Amino acid sequence: MKARRVRAASAFVAGTFLVAACSSGGHGSGAPGSTGPSAGSGGSATTAASAGDGKVYNFRGANSTTADDAFGTSYTAFATCLATQSSGRIKLTMYQNATLGSDAEALELLQTGALDFTETTLTSTVLPDAAAFDLPYMFSTVEAWEKAVDGAPGDQIKQEALAKGMKILSFDEGGWREVYGNKDVKSVSDFKGLKIRTLQTPVYVAFFKALGAVPSPLAFTEVYLALQQHTLDAAETALPSMFGAKQYEVSKYVIVTNHAMSTVPWAMSTKAWNSLPSDLQAVVLSCDKARSEMQRKNQNESQKNMEQQLTAKGMTYVTIPLAPLQELAKSKVYPLATAPGEQALVAKIEAMN
């Protein structure tokens, strides 16, 4: 309970900072919960409304995590910033905790223009080249990941996303992905036969198959019940998300694998983006810059406190040799990156590191 209060307090402080930063733009004030502009140029032929037309844009956004984690608090602050900087012309209502459906469902809605904003961990299911970001052990530090997503590799994915109806505004930091559950895994051989929930992307499925596990791509919201009923032995995700979903209540062990940095694009539908006049597009970009900085800062802080918080909940941390996992990733998973665009992206990232 104490940890939750600390997390909520830090999120409040960061949120206050974001709103103050947005307010300094001199665009007037708006109601909390309203929404604002985004970045870049859209990918459709729709003509944006003329600047200063006074029209109010009502948008909907969705995410699959809780409203009080690093993702949820940043999206709430983003909506407030949009309303403030646009003088109430952009109103964003956020539907958090998967209330509009799973990641996959929200992504599909965004691509069709039926949803205006969402975060997603499933980018590579619609943009195969983005699988380069999912490759196990591609990044060794948070700084290396930031250099890639904020540089040319990230720009490449942003450009490709436009043709799929997605305007990626920024890349959120999901954190280092670990394995957790009810089996004590001490070496790579202990993965054999392990029934594990993985992210619903080909790279993650291939990696755990290479370890000898039995991967089951499952929506995150279904993991708690699967662990509770022992239809799964384990799951994998970034621990702050696991903590927010209270999956520690149905798990005994954290297996420290650090197998990937979770890359989470925050995107706007190109339909919604192209509907905005240029002055409001600038507002979206401005608000998202502040939001992205807030999200990464809070996620980093949350990640640092995870071991203390999860051991306090009764979980046991298990450290295993990583070299065998890294070798299997390189020999069994990396060769699957056969698309020219993905190979080029891998080469760019490796050169940066």
Could you write out the three-class secondary structure of the chain? CHHHHHHHHHHHHHHHHHHHHHHCCCCCCCCCCCCCCCCCCCCCCCCCCCCCCCCCEEEEEECCCCCCCHHHHHHHHHHHHHHHHCCCCEEEEEECCCCCCCHHHHHHHHHHCCCCEEECCCHHHHCHHHHHHHCCCCCCCHHHHHHHHCCHHHHHHHHHHHCCCEEEEEEEEEEEEEEEECCCCCCHHHHCCCEEEECCCHHHHHHHHHCCCEEEECCHHHHHHHHHCCCCCEEEEEHHHHHHCCHHHHCCEEEEEEEEEEEEEEEEEHHHHHHCCHHHHHHHHHHHHHHHHHHHHHHHHHHHCHHHHHHHCCCEEEECCCHHHHHHHHHHHHHHCCCHHHHHHHHHHHHHC
- Taking only the tens place, the pLDDT of each residue in 327-342 is 999 999 999 888 888 8
Residue 311: its pLDDT value, please? 97
Residue 38: its pLDDT value, please? 35
- What value does the mean pLDDT take over residues 60-69? 92
| Range with lowest mean pLDDT among 66-70, 165-169, 337-341 | 337-341
Instruction: State yes or no: pLDDT of 20 exceeds 50.
Output: no
- What value does the mean pLDDT take over residues 50-63? 84
Residue 54: its pLDDT value, please? 84
Residue 18: its pLDDT value, please? 53
- What value does the mean pLDDT take over residues 117-127? 92
- Phi, psi dihedral angles at 111 (to 5 degrees): -65, -30
Could you tell me the pLDDT band of residue 17, with boundaries at 50, 70 and 90?
very low
Residue 325: its pLDDT value, please? 97
Instruction: State yes or no: pLDDT of 312 exceeds 80.
Output: yes
pLDDT: which is higher, 201 or 275: 275
Could you tell me the pLDDT band of residue 121, with boundaries at 50, 70 and 90?
confident
* All domains of the chain in start order, with CATH: 2-352 (3.40.190.170)
Residue 218: its pLDDT value, please? 85
Instruction: State yes or no: pLDDT of 221 exceeds 60.
Output: yes
- Phi, psi dihedral angles at 176 (to 5 degrees): -70, 130
- The length of the chain is 353
- What value does the mean pLDDT take over residues 233-258? 96
Is the CB of residue 134 less than 8 Å from the CB of residue 124? yes
Instruction: State yes or no: pLDDT of 147 exceeds 70.
Output: yes
Is the CB of residue 287 less than 8 Å from the CB of residue 86? no
Mean pLDDT of the chain: 87
Residue 32: its pLDDT value, please? 32
